[in-house]
Amino acid sequence: MNLVYACVFFQDKYVSMFELMFKSYIKYNTNQKNTHFLVITQERLQGKIRKIMEASQITWNIFIVESKTFFDAAISRVKIFDYPKINNYDKILYLDTDIIINASLFELFQKPINNKLNALKETPNYEYHGCYFTKESYDRVSSMCFSSGVLYFDKSMKELFREVYCLQQKIVREKLKISECLDQPIFNFVAIKNKCINNLSLQDFVILNPKSYKEAKHINHFCGQVGNYIDKLAKMRQFLRGIP
């Protein structure tokens, strides 16, 4: 069995982004009976999320995790291993909400995971990927950096996710600098340090900020400044208008 999951917290506009993403997902993946969909969210947004998902014909669920800060909300994706039914799934795909799905994900789920965190390589940026490395050490490993907006993994990553969470808690506890990309450089630091990242395996399936439908892949991620949902929603809607 496969699990696709997303996280929605705080702003109602993130619910709007999730609705666009979810509707694009079910357009191409309703017949994937061996793939379930999970949303990690807070109690306040549960009703809105449920209303969106109830209209679909797929198997879905909601997992409530309360977060007090934006940083806590960002790191909520690592709590996937607290989900009571997680042991039912062999392969897991995390998706940010600022994504449009443009094809069935069946082919992606055929790819072996090989005890790696599979993600998409991104142009190196110290603030966005490497700020928990020293600059010297980051220069040596920058070719391994990745976007954390799409992550493909299995239960072998449970300890890595625990380590990501522990580092986030240390950053909060010791009042260390929080990156403007929140938990993405934490994921980069932990995965690269543990030599368990494959940042090339998703390049045929994921694209960042496609300029038109002609560049589209299975997963189209309209990433940008954290919290700038207005720009992201605009790019997602513009992309959808270009679909034949």
Q: Which tens digits make up the pLDDT trace of 100-141?
A: 999 999 999 999 999 999 999 999 888 889 888 888 888 889
Q: Which of 12-16, 159-163, 176-180 has the highest mean pLDDT?
A: 159-163
Strand partners, 60: 37
Residue 53 bridge partners (DSSP): none
The rounded distance, in Å, linking the Cα atoms of 71 and 85 is 25
Rounded to the nearest 10 degrees, the angle between the axes of helix 12-29 and helix 43-54 is: 30
Question: Tell me, what's the pLDDT at 117?
Answer: 98
Instruction: Tell me the pLDDT tens digit for each residue of 139-160.
Output: 889 999 999 999 999 999 999 9
Please choose, from the candidates 237, 143, 140, 145, the residue with its C-alpha nearest in 3D space to the C-alpha of residue 189.
145
pLDDT at 45 over 80: yes
The average confidence (pLDDT) of the chain is: 92
Q: How deeply is 177 buried, as exposed, middle or buried, from its count of CB atoms within 10 A (0-12, 13-18, 19+)?
A: exposed
Per-residue pLDDT at 87? 96
Q: How many domains does the chain have?
A: 1
Model confidence pLDDT, tens digit, residues 184-205: 999 999 999 999 999 999 999 9
Edge-to-edge, what's the strand order for the sheet holding 117-121?
Answer: 60-64, 35-41, 2-8, 91-95, 146-153, 117-121, 197-198
Could you give the 3-state DSSP secondary structure of residue 111? coil
Question: By the 8 A CB rule, do 74 and 186 touch?
Answer: no
CA distance linking residue 53 with residue 209, whole number of Å:
26
**How confident is residue 49, by pLDDT bands cut at 50, 70 and 90?**
very high
Q: Is residue 178 within 8 Å of 186, Cβ to Cβ?
A: no
CA distance 152 to 37: 14
- Residues 164-176 have a mean pLDDT of 90
How far is it, in rounded angstroms, from Cα 100 to Cα 17? 9
Q: Please report the pLDDT score of residue 126 as a whole number.
A: 86
Query: What pLDDT is stored for residue 36 in this prediction?
Result: 97
Across the range 81-93, mean pLDDT stands at 97
pLDDT band at 244 (very low <50, low <70, confident <90, very high): low
Give pLDDT, residue 135: 84
pLDDT at 227: 63
Model confidence, pTM: 0.95
- Range of the structural domain that residue 28 is part of: 2-241
Q: Tokens for 225? A: 């400044």
Q: Look up the CATH number of the domain holding residue 227.
A: 3.90.550.10
Q: Two tokens at 154? A: 């299995």
Contacts of 226 (CB under 8 A, 6+ apart): 74, 180, 181, 182
pLDDT tier for residue 240 given thresholds of 50, 70 and 90: confident
Residue 19 and residue 24: Cα distance in Å, rounded? 8
| Percent of the chain predicted with pLDDT > 90 | 68
Quote the CA–CA distance of 205 and 183 in Å, as a whole number: 23
